Structure 1
Amino acid sequence: MHLLDWAIVAAYLAFVIWDGIRMTKHTGSVEGYFLANRSLPWWAVGLSVMATQMSAITLVGTTGQAYSDGMRFIQFYYGLPLAMVLLCVTAVPFFYRANVFTAYEYLEKRFDAKTRSLTSFFFLISRGLGVGVIIAAPSVILSIVLGWSEIATIFLIGLSTTFYTMVGGVQAVTWTDVKQMTIIFVGMFIVIVVIVSQFPTGVSFTDGLHLAGTLGKLETIDTRFDLTEKYTIWSGLIAAFFLFLSYFGADQSQVQRYLTAKSVSEGRTSLLMSAFLKIPMQFLILLIGVLIFVFYQFVTPPMIFNSVAVSKVEATAGYNEIKAKYESAHEARSAAAIKLVEHASPEDRQHYIAADKTFNEARKSAVELVKTTTGDSSFNDVNYVFPLFVIQNMPIGV
């Protein structure tokens, strides 16, 4: 990263902290701190609901997953609109009219303080563990990509967020979420434009999608009823449906958001907005991963995206041989991709599919070398794809 990039990151973090302090004027009461005096507009609440469910893992992990596996993951969200409609009819008016500060306060009214304390305890434990993963997982990746220590990265992410949350309450959290979601949406469109602009002359956006589709990367509906398959339309409409009901209907991190809306109607609208924007947003995130895959059809991708893993295996016997096969396979696949774009014949299509298979086998050999050398049988570097692409290919300041 260049000095301008670091300056932008530092300025943004400073602004977030300053804005959190500024929001303290709205947190003079308990209701102001926890519920923003029930004064937030529906669109701000809706964006905050989306941001609360989202994390750096979404951007880093989902793009990497799409690079490797295509668009299939989007099926996980097909049950979200159905769950949100049901919650708009049931949970939103229920919690709003219960006049509570938290989802678990109602349990004390309905049962007793012990029940409330127990559920609150389990929520805090589960949320603490979850947030730990949400912060630590991207920190492991970003620390390697940015050249920072892992501990420093965790503290930078965690402390800045903790500070403005503690000081500004839900008001600061919500408006920070709005800013972050705006930056994320703008950033995604910029990334897509930059990727497509770096395609070779004569290769258009639709050509790139055609290449990805040829290899099955654009599959968004799988109707097979296969219990061994993670992502099908059934796992989205059935399993994920109940997951979303529990998360958005009973988890304090979500209930608190729609309790800050001005009315029941606006609380419902915020959930519906989140439901119907979430799928297009996930589509764009996955599309970025697919477009990075297309970009690397014409530019040699790293054989291993994790630079630390590379340093551990590059001196081993067989590494150079695998790398030579990998580079040769990439050249063959790139030539096959260009030929398919130019002629689009059935023979060219089969040749491209075969070339991609050979390339994947070469990369698999490299991954197996890392697993054997390091003893890490679960090694997977797809989460490094997007951060590394951004560092190496995005313009300065972006």
Structure 2
Amino acid sequence: MNLQTADYVVIALYGLVILGITLVFARRQKTSADYFIASRSMPAWAVAMAMMAALISSNTLVGHPATAYQKGLILLLGSLTLPLVLIFVAKVIVPFYRNAVGMSAYEYLGARFGIGGRLYASGCFVADRLFDVGVTMLTTAVPICVMTGWDMSRVILGMAIFTVAYTVVGGMTTVVWTSVVQGFIFVAAAVIIAARLIFAPECGPPGAVVVAAWDAGKFSLGNFDFSWRALVDPGVSSQWLLLLAYTTNWARRYIADQHMVQRYLIAKTDRDASRGVLWNGLLCVPVWGIFMVIGVCLYGYYLTSGATPPPVSDEVVPYFIMHQLPAGIVGLMLAAILAASMSSISPDLNSIATAFTADLVGHLFPRQSDRARLLTGRLAVAGAGAFAIVVALVMMPKEGGATIMERAVTVAAILSGGMLGLFFLGFLTRRATRQGCYVGIAACAVFTAWGTLTEPQNQLLDLGFNFPLNPILIGVTGHLIVFGVGYAASRLIGGYVPPDVDQLTFRRKPVAQV
């Protein structure tokens, strides 16, 4: 099926809306505070939508249904741990950050552990996000090419250049308001697909696909039997292990990653920021749930309708869209895929620029004027976008391409290892020293590199004494190593502790804002 005129019209309208929002807010970007943190002017509901849109990428629209289509609702419980993490974040982390930092989360590490800790964390974040943005560009282009037959490199370039352009021009205010629009678009897309499946006349009475999927066991939440083998054998599935990994991942994202911390800083007040965080959890879980239910319903659809399923399960959503939805709606689905991708890419680019400008350039040129800082931020967004485009083009599917992608993700995993443990080393202990922190970082880097390169599923190196546990535990253990080794080294070798250390731990009593 080819795109019809109505589809092109819908896609063009989406582009015009984003362009219009950019032009409206571009003129208001007068200072670096405007550009990076929207001058702390955003209401709680906009903060919540921006956070939700940043988490919902094109992988949610395509990858979550594909996983549910194959394995059932095994990812759902991991999503349900998010609100539990966010209660702690809203009550403790948000007011702490809003009083302790100006633009970058890593300002805190600079105050607690010195410029080395700040630059290390900021550099790791930038490297991790650059690879992630490139992967997002690529994973967005794949379903679009499946649906349209367009050239993949042109899809990547077109989408990326448009996204980078409006992010460069519009700053954080544009990023937030475009994310709000994009969030509504992909939620609408989810509702339309779900309604089409549930009320599919070719499958029988309403809900027939749900019954078929239920009878096939697709609503299973996974294996809850506890087994010690799950710790060492990746082939043994355990929801308990998955819950541990998900909880750790959510904590890292919302406590140690600049692209989330920056959302706390854009809110008008501490109360708005905390509400935005909590409302974000209430938005994300239902959206993830809808897309997972879409996946199991697609299984029921192809089981009962007589339609030919796609040859590859990863293509089940774009395949269904192109073969079972009418003209115009197909265009809306394409716009939704683009919206989900852009709502992840644009805030990532802005947060990369914020970390680069505040942490690196701000350290090298502390007397830089605000106008120069604003220009630096714009150039950093453009540079980050260009680098991510190169990453996406290099990792395009081709012979040997999978290996390249695996290595890129491996490098990013090594670089970002232990970040949560580093922050908690500062938050929870007064005795942690600068030197102990560096020892913990070094120990974590060695461990993460060893575990990632030698784990049996995707082994890149055989040292004879390879990582023996389930690879899902590499990240979790890395955080514990930074904290444990860093604290032990601090007690053994001593070192520098800032005189205002009480103000840099959770003992601090934040000043209420109005």
The TM-score, its normalising length taken from structure 2, stands at 0.60
User: 2:174 maps to what in 1?
Assistant: 172
> What's the offset of the Cα at 1:43?
0.9
Matches of 1:94 and 1:127 in 2, distance apart?
24
Task: Indicate yes or no: 2:264 matched with 1:263.
Answer: no
Alignment counterpart, residue 115 of structure 2, candidates 113, 121, 127: 113
Cα distance in structure 1, aligned partners of 2:279 and 2:11? 29
- From 363, 385, 389, give the equivalent of 2:316: 385
Asked if 2 retains the 8 angstrom alpha-carbon contact of 1:78 and 1:236, the reply is: no
Q: How does 1:229-244 map to 2 (within 5 A)?
A: 232-244=238-250
Residue 49 of structure 2: which of 37, 47, 51 is its match? 47
**Alpha-carbon distance, 1:232 to partner:** 4.7
Higher relative contact order (CA 8 A, sep 6+): 1
What is the 5 A alignment of 1:81-160? 81-160=83-162
The whole-number CA distance in structure 2 between the counterparts of 1:58 and 1:144 is 17
Give the letter for the 2:214 counterpart: G
Asked whether the equivalents of residues 76 and 236 of structure 1 are also in contact (C-alpha less than 8 Å), the reply is yes
Deviation at 1:221, TM superposition (A): 5.7
Counterpart secondary structure, 1:108? helix
Q: Unmatched 5+ residue regions in structure 2?
A: 330-514
Is the alpha carbon distance of 1:230 and 1:13 closer, same or farther for their aligned partners in structure 2, counting shifts above 3 Å? Answer: farther
Deviation at 1:172, TM superposition (A): 0.7
Corresponding residue for residue 223 of structure 1: 224
Aligned match for 1:252, one of 236, 250, 258:
258
Tell me if structure 2 keeps the 8 A contact 1:83–1:244. Answer: yes
Q: Deviations over 1:187-213 (max 9, x none)?
A: 2111112222323374221x3322211
Distance 1:274 1:232, change over 3 A: farther
Alpha-carbon shift at residue 78 of structure 1 (Å): 2.4
Aligned to 1:19: 21
Q: Which of 136, 161, 164 does residue 162 from structure 1 map onto?
A: 164
Q: For residues 96 and 32 of structure 2, what CA distance do their matches in structure 1 show? A: 21
Taking structure 1 as reference, are residues 230 and 25 closer, same or farther at Cα in structure 2, changes over 3 Å only?
farther
Q: Which residue of 2 aligns with 1:374?
A: none
Q: Deviations along 1:32-86, whole A, 9 cap, x unmatched?
A: 1111111101111111111111211110111111122222221221221111111
Structure-2 separation of matches of 1:43 and 1:110: 32
Distance 1:186 1:231, change over 3 A: farther
Against the structure 1 CA distance between its residues 164 and 144, is the aligned structure 2 distance closer, same or farther, given a 3 Å change threshold? same
**Change in 2 beyond 3 A, CA 1:72/1:111:** closer
Give a deviation string over 1:310-335, Cα, whole Å, max 9, x none. xxxxxxxxxxxxxxxxxxxxxxxxxx
d(CA) in 2 for partners of 1:123 and 1:32? Answer: 22
- What do you get for the CA RMSD once the two structures are aligned? 1.9
Displacement after TM superposition at 1:220 (Å): 2.8
Q: Do the aligned residues in 2 keep the contact of 1:72 with 1:231 (CA within 8 Å)?
A: no
Any idea what the Cα deviations from partners look like across 1:202-248, whole Å, max 9, x if unmatched?
4221x332221111101236422242468754235422111111111
Match of 1:76 among 75, 78, 81: 78
Q: Percent identity?
A: 28
1:268-326 per-residue CA deviation (whole Å, 9 max, x = no partner) reads: 11111111222211110011112222221233444653xxxxxxxxxxxxxxxxxxxxx
Q: Is 2:403 the counterpart of 1:397?
A: no
The one-letter amino acid paired with 1:396 is A
Q: Name the SS for the 1:157 alignment partner.
A: helix
What is aligned with 2:397? none
1:28 to 3, 13, 30: 30
Cα deviation for residue 138 of structure 1 reads 2.6
Q: How many angstroms apart in 2 are the aligned matches of 1:264 and 1:204?
A: 46
Shift of 1:21: 2.7
Say how many residue pairs are matched. Answer: 322
112-121 vs 240-249, which moves further: 112-121
Where in structure 1 are there 5+ consecutive unaligned residues?
306-380
Distance 1:258 1:235 in 2: 30
Aligned equivalents of 2:315 and 2:42: distance in 1?
A: 37
* Distance change in 2, residues 1:232/1:41 (3 Å): farther
Give how far 1:89 is off: 2.3
Match of residue 345 from structure 1: none
Say if 2:51 and 2:260, in contact at 8 Å, map to a contact too.
yes
Residue in structure 1 matching 2:69, options 64, 67, 91:
67
Mean CA deviation greater in 107-116 or 154-163? 107-116
Q: 1:212 matched to which residue of 2?
A: 213
> How far apart are 1:106 and its partner, in Å?
2.3
TM-score by length of 1: 0.76
Cα distance between partner residues in 2 of 1:222 and 1:304: 27
Is the contact between residue 61 and residue 382 of structure 1 (CA under 8 Å) also seen in structure 2?
no
- Tell me if the contact between 2:82 and 2:250 (Cα under 8 Å) persists in the aligned partners: yes
